[in-house]
Amino acid sequence: MHVHTEYSLLDGSNKIKEYVARVKELGMNSAAITDHGVMFGVIDFYRAAKAAGINPILGCEVYVAPGSRFDHEINGGEDRYYHLVLLAENNQGYQNLMKIVSKGFVEGYYYKPRIDIELLEEYHEGIIALSACLAGEVQKNLLRGMFEEAKQAALRYESIFGKGNFFLELQDHGLTEQADVNQRLIRLAAETGIELVATNDVHYTYAEDEKPHDILLCIQTGKKLTDENRMRYAGGQYYVKSEQEMIELFPYARQALENTQKIADRCHVEIEFGVTKLPKYDVPGGMTSWEYLNQLCFEGLERRYPNPGEELKERLSYELSTIKNMGYVDYFLIVWDFIKYARDNDISVGPGRGSAAGSIVSYCLGITNIDPIRYQLLFERFLNPERVSMPDIDIDFCFERRQEVIDYVVRKYGKDRVVQIVTFGTMAARGVIRDVGRVMDLPYAFVDAIAKMIPTELNITIDKALKMNPEFRKMYETDEQVKYLIDMSKRLEGLPRHTSMHAAGVVISQKSVDEYVPLSRASDGSITTQFTMTTLEELGLLKMDVRIVR
């Protein structure tokens, strides 16, 4: 119900595949994902859970501003934000959750992607809310001894989400203040009729992951393990717990435990994959997209091949019919249009590369400048009816003026329908060893020497390096300090470390992008999708590779 995965960046070390496997091992039929302010991992989690026969509960632990999400000033003594857990009960709730999370980044970003009460009132349908951890508004007021304020906050949330759709969250990680707050939450539930739910604030998979997770927090905050005043999750209780462990934690709140299953049974979201959601090209003169594409292609055929014979016409007609049958007519018009804009405005465009060069349609439209007939290139390598996947045209533009092309596409289709794509930087083998070594306060030269034992090859892992490098393996087996460094590094290896904007990827959608995917904000302030290029393709969205050449 309250679970942070690796996509709570540098805060969760709970890898989705391991998490789902652990849930399956414990015999649970449902599991949730509620990362901090983001939905980066929901599709990976959804697929993994479904494959394991587990009901995926898609959610997010959002940051609620105390006032308006547009306010970037905090009054004296006021909190910057409160935590609140939102779970999608159904597809309407999933759509609304994407809207809420997106607007947190696009409209409410101030230290964190903040939302507000206004957004919750607008997009509450299909969402179940939980009062979250000690950082929730209700709990913070209870911690301060402000029972009436906590009560009013709880009743306000209940009025927004509706009776039976807001729950007071009990947690127990061995903290004294949590035990005190739990007793006050029980009293609050009795006075308001708002039901309780018992959760564990999961940040790592297994109990033994406490130490690597503590190191991860140090990486996030730039601290060392020896620093006294640093962020830590004390007590080692933030792992995936069994049903029996939860029963033992809450013997006084059996109904709260039962409500966990009741909420899980209510949550069912079905995500559609493989159905294309292409935008429509605005065709001139009352023609259909199909008629216009045919006209452009046959005009282009005459330009490319003066007096073309029947064989060329048949090849073009075959490609066009394949494109029509696969539903990609508008795709080719969209690509043709922005390449035409670039050429009309003296922006250098590459000749085309990859399998798109095998298409006579691409050649006749001027998308590519490589003759597929002369070079005997196969169309089927580009588009094959037996292997349904989106066409992939890589287009190179002059590096100084690429943004002009993107700006044109934004003007034509609307800034809400054209967004650049997120990518994740991960904690790779050498880098994670250096990070962990710094946190452990080991000598730089010592850690650097160990890191350099990792071969510099693509997709290398620490385990592969241990097999490939006998000297590295020997150090690992004979030196306890090296073994501890490497074991901690292996648990964190592969975790996403930061987000950035994909160098070339742009998505163009038929509706506002946040109807299909949640949005985020890159480090430079630009808006990106929260899903990667691969996931966007799986969801049927049109993505373009708008590359740069120098």
Q: What is the mean pLDDT of residues 92-102?
A: 98
Q: Is 25 contained in some domain?
A: yes
Q: Are 400 and 479 in contact (CB under 8 A)?
A: no
pLDDT in tens, 39-76: 999 999 999 999 999 999 999 999 999 999 999 876 65
What was the pLDDT predicted at 11? 98
How many CB atoms are located within 10 Å of the residue 373 CB?
Answer: 14
One domain, residues 33 and 160 = yes
User: Which of 53-67, 270-284, 337-351, 522-536 shows the highest mean pLDDT?
Assistant: 53-67
| Amino acid in the structure at residue 179 | A
Q: Give the whole-angstrom CA distance, residue 169 versus residue 111.
A: 25
pLDDT in tens, 103-137: 999 999 988 999 999 999 999 999 999 999 999 99
Q: What is the mean pLDDT of residues 284-299?
A: 95
What was the pLDDT predicted at 394? 81
One domain, residues 388 and 512 = yes
One domain, residues 317 and 260 = no
Q: Is 433 contained in some domain?
A: no
CATH, residue 385: 3.30.1900.20
CATH, residue 136: 3.20.20.140
* Both tokens assigned to 112: 């964190």
One domain, residues 46 and 99 = yes
pLDDT in tens, 161-209: 999 999 999 999 999 999 999 999 999 999 999 999 999 999 999 999 9
Global pTM value: 0.94
Q: Is 384 contained in some domain?
A: yes
What was the pLDDT predicted at 360? 97
Phi-psi region of 222 (alpha: psi -120 to 50; beta: other; left: phi over 0): left
* Both tokens assigned to 377: 């290139």
Q: Coil, strand, or helix at residue 401? A: coil
pLDDT in tens, 448-475: 999 999 999 889 999 999 999 999 999 9
Q: What is the mean pLDDT of residues 343-370?
A: 91
One domain, residues 200 and 301 = no
Instruction: Domain of residue 129: give its range.
Output: 16-205+240-266
Q: Is 387 contained in some domain?
A: yes
What was the pLDDT predicted at 533? 93
Q: Which of 103, 119, 54 is nearest to 514 (CA)?
A: 103
Q: Give the whole-angstrom CA distance, residue 394 versus residue 407.
A: 18
Question: How much of the chain, in percent, has pLDDT values that exceed 70?
Answer: 99
One domain, residues 29 and 87 = yes
Q: Give the whole-angstrom CA distance, residue 377 versus residue 389.
A: 19
One domain, residues 54 and 88 = yes
Q: Coil, strand, or helix at residue 477? A: helix
* Both tokens assigned to 549: 């050449």
User: Which pLDDT band holds residue 385 (cuts at 50, 70, 90)?
Assistant: confident
What was the pLDDT predicted at 428? 96
Q: Which of 423, 393, 397, 399 is nearest to 543 (CA)?
A: 393
Residue 36: pLDDT above 70?
yes
For the chain, the domain total comes to 2
The domain boundary, picked from 251, 266, 281, lies at 266
Q: Residue 57, class by beta-carbon neighbours within 10 Å (0-12 exposed, 13-18 middle, 19+ buried)?
A: buried
Q: Of the given ranges (54-63, 86-95, 351-360, 506-515), which has the lowest mean pLDDT?
A: 351-360
One domain, residues 197 and 294 = no
One domain, residues 324 and 184 = no
One domain, residues 39 and 134 = yes
Q: Are 147 and 189 in contact (CB under 8 A)?
A: no
